[in-house]
Structure 1
């Protein structure tokens, strides 16, 4: 397993480099309030990054997250991308279980100190050429 640092790409940079043909963001709403989101950011070499996958705690377990996740991966397949990756921490156990179930594999891990504690930032990749 390699240990490298993937450059950060924040929301401001997303807006600056937004390509409507390749980059997508989905919002789930309930009673006109955002309750979830997910984004796909295009990257070089026919690759994309899954970002900002969030579901309001009240709506977790209702299928909202699964629907968003399925839409994002389907978009990557429609774009005929070779790979989609995401970054998370080793403390996101439920999310990691879902990613692994979808076929993502741990490809990198790096210890970091964040929010006053030491944790591992992990990169998970989904090879879409095998789907």
Structure 2
């Protein structure tokens, strides 16, 4: 049963999950407007999500595909640092305005969850190698 999950697959194109996450961020704006919630919360979530995407793009360019492991190590530590950096920003906002931080974190969390879920679906839906 575990063998299909452990079989390597080619990495799928990242554009579709990123576009889906961006669509979630965009669709959250009218929800904030109609509900009367503070737009700063939506903006915080949108900025966090965009910063995460930008950092992810930078680390992807550094190189998972290099022939040595240096690029993979840099990407791995960079991805961990990306999450830590975003949470430091969210915590700093939470200290001064908890409601704003909660709204921003919710927008970011839903967009990230959609992106991650779609990315995993595309990866495990792909044909295994070898």
Assess same fold via TM > 0.5.
no
Structure number having the greater helix percentage: 2
Q: Flag the structure with larger Rg.
A: 2
